[in-house]
């Protein structure tokens, strides 16, 4: 499950940022996950719960916000939110959308003490 | 110390590439609780390793291909057939990724190429850091082909850039024509597609045109499609010519400079 590799990276990056900011304790880590990214939110949360053990993150929690891609219909030109690579056009019912963005996998904020 | 493999890499120093830190920007407050805005990309570290690999390959005119598919699609067989056809024209090295055993690396050596086996243990994909170490061990020659056979898995490897020139995604005709819809992330990130085991088409319910329609839905941009049978040789001449042309275009500048 590649979410383990991502969760280990969350721990590493957070510990590094915490050290740079002289933070005693991290209570919450805010993540942005693009809807077209490779990570499944609940799998990532599960993996993180395992990875944070033994780190300075203690009982820090993940707060995961999913972000859609922008999908442009190649037939009618309509632009809408895209939550899956298989989404079609809600406007003209075309079967596919051209995706822009939606692949973010990033920590955007730390709640600390 | 690197937490992934215990190598001496310290704190993101990557030899062949300048590194940058993802810095946090804090707000100084008197209150105990505070929020720190950051911009920390979970794949940035892998990307840095991948770009270091990519630069290393480019400097030496090495064509690196990342092969991804389900277990059993025929990756190793296709690589072995490719090696037999091309090793007279180019030096060929292979990086093999499997959870366990050196079985695939042994098959590759029998076909006539140098091989380095990565055993990932419980890990489900190769990443750029592992590939960097494998390249250090293998030392591919300038102007060579570096074929990277990823762990058999249509999900996880898609997320990890290895520094390759092309991502070759394979599926075999025994897997069902709707595979691209069921595993869209993998097919969306491909830069070339191989439909393998085409000798079995008379015996299975697989319509190649339907399959390519499904690919198009998740990968709208055109990309090279190769229909092959690694066992009968069907389509291999065209497949190898595609590789050779890509390799020659990288090698050309090096030959002019007298480096290959």
Average the pLDDT over each of A50-59, B182-191, B232-241 and give the range with the smallest value: A50-59
Contacts of B40 in chain A (CB under 8 A): 13-14, 17, 106-107
pLDDT given at position B119: 78
Say if A105 falls within a structural domain.
Answer: yes
Contacts of B42 in chain A (CB under 8 A): 6, 9-10, 13, 39, 105-107
Say if A16 falls within a structural domain.
Answer: yes
For a pLDDT cut of 70, what percent of chain A falls above it? 99
Say if A77 falls within a structural domain.
Answer: no
Average pLDDT, chain B: 87
Identify the domain containing residue A62 by its residue range: 2-68+101-112
Average the pLDDT over each of A13-17, B92-96, B254-258 and give the range with the smallest value: B254-258
Under an 8 Å CB criterion, which residues of B touch A? Answer: 3, 21-24, 26, 32-43, 45, 123-125, 127, 155-156, 158-160, 181, 184-185, 188, 216-218, 220
pLDDT, one tens digit per residue, over A87-98 is 999 999 999 999
Say if A96 falls within a structural domain.
Answer: no
DSSP 3-state assignment of B185? helix
CB contact under 8 A, B41 and A105: yes
For chain A, the domain total comes to 1
pLDDT given at position B6: 52
pLDDT band at B32 (very low <50, low <70, confident <90, very high): confident
Residue B31 has pLDDT above 80, yes or no: no
Residue of B nearest to A1 (CA): B124
CA distances from A109 to A25, A38, A51, A60, B41 (A): 14, 21, 19, 13, 12
Say if A94 falls within a structural domain.
Answer: no
What's the angle, vertex CA A54, arms to CA A48 and CA A58, rounded to 5?
65
B210 vs B103, residue with greater confidence? B210
**Are residues A57 and A26 in contact, defined by beta-carbon separation less than 8 angstroms?**
yes
DSSP 3-state assignment of A31? strand
- A64 touches B at CB < 8 Å: no
What value does the mean pLDDT take over residues A33-61?
Answer: 92
* Helix (H) or strand (E) run with residue A111 in it: strand A105-112
Say if A80 falls within a structural domain.
Answer: no
Euclidean distance between CA atoms B184 and B214, whole angstroms: 9
CB contact under 8 A, A13 and B184: no
CB contact under 8 A, A110 and B123: no
For a pLDDT cut of 70, what percent of chain B falls above it? 86
CA distances from A67 to A30, A80, B41, B56, B88 (A): 13, 13, 15, 35, 50
pLDDT, one tens digit per residue, over B104-154 is 788 888 899 999 988 777 778 999 999 999 999 999 999 999 999 999 999
Euclidean distance between CA atoms B220 and A27, whole angstroms: 42
CATH no. for residue A54?
3.30.2320.50
pLDDT given at position B102: 76
CB contact under 8 A, B40 and A96: no
Say if A56 falls within a structural domain.
Answer: yes
Say if A58 falls within a structural domain.
Answer: yes
A108 vs B109, residue with greater confidence? A108
A2 vs B39, B124, B184: nearest CB: B124
């Amino acid at each position: 499950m590649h979410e383990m590799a991502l969760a280990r990276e969350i721990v590493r990056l957070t510990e590094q940022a915490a050290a740079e900011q002289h933070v005693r304790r991290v209570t919450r880590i805010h993540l942005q996950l693009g809807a077209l990214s490779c990570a499944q939110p609940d799998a990532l949360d599960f993996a993180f719960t395992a990875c944070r053990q033994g780190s300075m993150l203690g009982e820090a929690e993940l707060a995961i916000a999913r972000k859609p891609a922008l999908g442009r219909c190649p037939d009618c030109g309509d632009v809408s939110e895209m939550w899956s690579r298989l989404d079609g056009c809600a406007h003209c019912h075309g079967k596919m959308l051209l995706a822009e963005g939606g692949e973010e996998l990033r920590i955007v904020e730390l709640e600390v003490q | 110390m690197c937490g992934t493999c215990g190598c001496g890499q310290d704190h993101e120093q990557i030899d062949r590439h300048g590194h940058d830190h993802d810095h946090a920007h804090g707000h100084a407050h008197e209150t105990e609780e505070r929020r720190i805005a950051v911009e920390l990309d979970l794949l940035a570290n892998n990307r840095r390793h991948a770009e270091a690999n990519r630069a290393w390959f480019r400097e030496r005119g090495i064509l690196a291909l990342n092969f991804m598919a389900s277990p059993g699609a025929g990756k190793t067989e296709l690589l072995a057939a490719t090696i037999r056809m091309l090793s007279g024209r180019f030096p060929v090295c292979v990086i093999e990724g499997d959870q366990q055993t050196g079985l695939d690396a042994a098959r590759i050596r029998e076909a006539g190429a140098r091989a380095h086996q990565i055993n990932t243990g419980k890990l489900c994909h190769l990443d750029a850091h592992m590939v960097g170490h494998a390249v250090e061990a293998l030392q591919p020659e300038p102007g060579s082909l570096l074929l990277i056979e990823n762990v058999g898995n249509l999900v996880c490897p898609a997320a990890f850039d290895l520094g390759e020139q092309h991502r070759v995604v394979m599926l075999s005709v025994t897997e069902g024509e709707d595979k691209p819809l069921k595993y869209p992330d993998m097919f969306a990130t491909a830069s070339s597609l191989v439909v393998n085991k085409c000798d079995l088409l008379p015996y299975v319910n697989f319509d190649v045109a339907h399959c390519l329609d499904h690919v198009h839905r998740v990968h709208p941009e055109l990309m090279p499609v190769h229909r092959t049978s690694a066992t009968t040789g069907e389509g291999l001449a065209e497949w190898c010519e595609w590789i050779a042309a890509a390799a020659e275009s990288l090698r050309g500048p090096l030959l002019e400079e007298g480096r290959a």
